[in-house]
Amino acid sequence: MDRRKALLLVAAVIAAVGTLLVFLYVRGADTRADQRYDAVQVLRVVKPIAAGETVEAAQSAGKIESGSVSKKDLLPDALTGTQPIAGKVATTAIYPGEQLVSSKFGATNTANGLAIPKGKIAISINLSDPSRVAGFVNPGDKVAIFLTTEKGARLLLPSVTVIGAGTTTVTTTTTTDASGAQSTEQLPKTLLTLAVSQQDAERVLLAQKLGELAFGLLNDDSVVAPSQGATDLNLFR
């Protein structure tokens, strides 16, 4: 094969490769265009939404954002706006990455605007600032409840949803020491409302009579489990 024929062959190969690359690029562009065309807007959850939390509270806390999914991944009752579930509460915990769907929200059982999750009842307890985590507990939060008595401190309930917070009032408390001397102090206390089962309500109400209750604020990484509690016998073990 002479030099001229070799050059013509190389040129033909280069032209064929170029044509193939152009074809692949155009097909890829068409695919990307189809994918963009196929995408639809939807609301997504970006932070955990607790059961009993209203959609308004979740939205104001930055837990819901607009996003997009392909049509094939769109859930049947996915929402593009919160108007269809306005005033409703989450009937179950909703986690980051999920599409916001109407089936996970239900009508509130209201009493003066209080949203009570289905199957639960509402009870309230009065706690001092230290016992309510210095005021960091808000409606929608999950808390563990601890009971302290003369015998020690122990976990009472590992996870309870707070659904309401009342006003803070100042309570005057008088204590008497071993010598009979009395001291009086004023402590701010806040009424906090919980969504609990009947059995847990009975435990909390009795525990209030037996000692002092305190909250432990939970997050997604918190680890809480029943234990034997702390007493003066095992305090330093």
Residues 138 and 87 placed together within one structural domain of the fold: no
Residues 103 and 127 placed together within one structural domain of the fold: no
Kindly state the greatest CA–CA separation across the chain.
120
- Within-domain flag for 226: no
Residues 101 and 7 placed together within one structural domain of the fold: yes
- Within-domain flag for 181: yes
Cα separation of the two ends of the chain: 92
- Within-domain flag for 237: no
Burial of 52 (0-12, 13-18, 19+ CB in 10 A): buried
CATH of the domain at 61: 3.90.1210.10
- Within-domain flag for 116: no
Residues 14 and 101 placed together within one structural domain of the fold: yes
Residues 41 and 102 placed together within one structural domain of the fold: yes
- Within-domain flag for 236: no
* Number of structural domains found in the chain: 2
Residues 100 and 142 placed together within one structural domain of the fold: no
Which residue, of 107, 137, 165, is where some domain finishes? 107
Which residue, of 77, 107, 137, is where some domain finishes? 107
What DSSP letter does each residue of 118-148 carry, written as one string? TT-EEEEEEEETGGGGGGT--TT-EEEEEEE
DSSP character at residue 78: B
- Within-domain flag for 227: no
- Within-domain flag for 114: no
Residues 102 and 59 placed together within one structural domain of the fold: yes
Amino acid occupying residue 54: T
Residues 194 and 145 placed together within one structural domain of the fold: yes
Residue 123 contacts residue 99 (beta carbons within 8 Å): no
Residues 204 and 176 placed together within one structural domain of the fold: yes
Residues 99 and 133 placed together within one structural domain of the fold: no
Digitized pLDDT (tens) for each residue of the chain, 237 residues in all: 566 666 556 556 566 655 656 555 556 555 554 455 578 899 999 998 877 788 888 889 999 999 888 888 888 889 999 999 888 888 767 888 899 998 888 765 544 556 788 889 999 999 988 898 988 888 888 999 999 999 999 999 999 998 887 766 776 777 777 787 888 777 778 888 999 999 999 999 999 999 999 999 999 899 999 999 999 999 887
Residue 123 contacts residue 213 (beta carbons within 8 Å): no
- Within-domain flag for 224: no
- What residue numbers bound the domain in which 21 lies? 1-107
Distance CA 59, CA 57 (A): 5
Residues 125 and 208 placed together within one structural domain of the fold: yes
